[in-house]
Structure 1
């Protein structure tokens, strides 16, 4: 073998680990097709390949089992409860980044910088266009008013989205008032809690109830599905508030794993996800609201109206999750 060929092979062998390191590995609760536009844009900009493992459930357990050997650099997830879980499990690490702090407002990131929000969605009321007058319902507290008896549909009270809403109610009004509120809402249900948020809108369309609780982005998903467009067109979106404050929002977020074998690339990916360009891609793809200052939601999302978000830090809300779940079970909300 010639000296030149030997040298070339040696150079390739030495270079291979470096080339292999130009990647970032992601565990995601979000389906790959929802984040592919982002990962493609990141790779195009940086040359860093993004490997995504979609985990419908069991992310925390998998990270705990893998420990320091985990190949995951970053986790992508939705809902403050799941973000709180990865913090509590000790499977992520704090990140110091002026870019992340500039791009993510304080109420949408962990106080200890262990996770950072990417997009928000409001927990809203879908109201029948035919049977609910404008201004008839304006607050979450209104949902317990006896005038709505037999007129409300919702998914399970123990679902993470409703637990977060109940936790926020505890933050604003305390546990005793929240239990009374839950009892009032339960008394107003048209049927036993069931299905997902879109199923509640279908029930309004079918005349089974007049209002429901759901996330904003489901309107975009229904309008994009020919079988569900008629459901969407049967309702108006109402942005309720807590009395004296704002509208409850939840988030999608990103965090760096405790193991993070590609830590530098992971940080680059996290910073990219909070950049204005990436934020708009994310929001367009998922019908959500971007977090970075100066970025705009899609024209479709903006057409639903504006609202002022509740400014309580979501980790403060998350701290009330155990009490919220206890109250939901105490009133037998799903019974």
Structure 2
């Protein structure tokens, strides 16, 4: 694709940003006394995409990184546990492929992946000393700036970047405009807390070896939305099938899986609506169910018609999120029915628009 050629240009003479700082024997500007590998921090619209962008020297547009990683998707589940309100989960970004690896693969950036039974600090220091940021998958609740969270939080992979160190203190990028300082021992506990990750380290090892794989990214997004995704019975919860299932559950007034019964209790209703807002605007997504960011990517790679449809769809997702956020804590059955019908209509509008958009990718 012609658009991808200009997108592949690299700054920094083909060198990772941290390697430039090390070669010059200076510390990054604005951070006197701190051995950081780069100077741009903080989430723009999408956390993981910003991590990749900054770790690679802020060379690429955030929308490009997000789109190459897969951009958008849809997963819908409601989990029920004894003594707790139903737990709604919607993932609106590309899922379940690992975001960081997908982004690096399609940016054509080489990287090493390592796992270990315990934190391997020698390996971490060697990478940072070589000017290479380290992506680590941790238990978010073990990071002090997040505070204690749900007891199941450690099961969710949460990626941060080690952007430097000084003695036994690490500098961690995770959303904020400045890196967090944390002792190695404390970070190690959070790293170990995500047991499935096995202390995963992803370390970019050099500049891009070619132009971004735009065609592969577009094909992956289309396949993820049209399915199958997993190749098993849970595929009905993914992509357009997942949107259809959500709309059906919202309109269902008879069965226990319908929202009218499942979220009837005040505690369940409040938990469900607040969670719905968070899933579409804040958690595992960029605002607007990631659709505006993906539309920007499509503009970058020459798909303006599809971009316009996804932007229109984003308006429906954000309207749905706002209705959920502002819903009263204890509506009666009639008010719940009206609200859930409005939710369903918005989902159906988005589904129609996105089916048309995918046909244009």
TM-score, length basis structure 1: 0.25
Radius of gyration: which is bigger?
Answer: 1
Select the structure with the greater relative contact order (CA < 8 A; seq sep ≥ 6): 1
